[in-house]
Amino acid sequence: MGLKTLIVDDEPIARQILREELEQLSEIEIAGEAGDGLSALAAVRELSPDLIFLDLQMPGLGGFDVIRKLPSAGHIPMVVIVTAFDRYAIEAFEAGAIDYMLKPIGQDRLAQAVDRVIKLHSRPSAVAEKFAAIQAVAESSSAKTVRKIVARSGQEYLLLNADEVLAFEAEGELVWIVTAKKRYLATQSLKAIQDKLQDTSFRRIHRKALVNLDHVRKMSTLSSQRWMVTLSNGQELIVSKRQTRHIHQLLSW
């Protein structure tokens, strides 16, 4: 039997890719998956995994929140950080994570991480020390991680920096990611995207539109309670009456 492994990532595509790669390694036994922090904690209690591949950037309970709430006694799991933002990955690794991997993950890099895990697994005291170190950092960390935006173009999936995105627009069941030169399909609903981007420069201006305030170049009044914003690519979007407060917030800067 291989190491009982739990995959934690809020992106279904990311979990699927990592699972497929791990299934090729005989040292690993996939015990389960979790798509959010609360589910991850429940899965840890139920499965007692030896190893957790943990995404740092998740809505609600992020990766550091999960680490902070994991039990520090009894069966202690090894933690490998998976992230699209390297500064937080490096900090986590230096703090005590067994390893870290940047998305997208290559097979060679994954095999290297698993090899590191296997060598450490035979030294439970070292595992406990590393876990205590990273949990201490998680306890004191209040840093907000910067998310990557998963975009789809045909059969390809791209990772966009949040500052590359001008807006998100819902069109029926589809959600479009608007960048300076191109539109991509999003992989999640507008509400899910908004939840992930809370405490960032993105604001809801309409039930079908979420804009990056850093890319708003002009604001025009259409009436006493109606506004139009112009983005840095020249695109114009109407602000609903309900969301006018975000325009007032921008004007107060």
* Domain at 178, CATH number: 2.40.50.1020
Confidence check: pLDDT of 95 > 70: no
**151: in domain:** no
**In terms of domains, do 92 and 52 share one?**
yes
Domain total in the chain = 2
Confidence check: pLDDT of 224 > 70: no
User: pLDDT > 70: what percent of the chain?
Assistant: 86
Identify the residue with better confidence: 4 or 57.
4
The CA-atom distances, in angstroms, between 179 and each of 61, 81, 102, 183, 219 are 28, 29, 23, 6, 19
Q: Tens digit of pLDDT for each residue in 151-184?
A: 888 888 888 888 889 999 999 989 999 999 899 9
**In terms of domains, do 134 and 73 share one?**
yes
Identify the residue with better confidence: 134 or 12.
12
**12: in domain:** yes
Can you give the pLDDT at residue 249? 53
**In terms of domains, do 136 and 171 share one?**
no
**182: in domain:** yes
Residue that is last in its domain, among 95, 112, 140: 140
Residue 101's domain comprises 3-140
**147: in domain:** no
**168: in domain:** yes
Q: Are 43 and 87 in contact (CB under 8 A)?
A: no
Which residues have a Cβ under 8 Å from the Cβ of 208 and sit 6 or more positions away? 169, 170, 171, 190
CATH number at residue 124: 3.40.50.2300
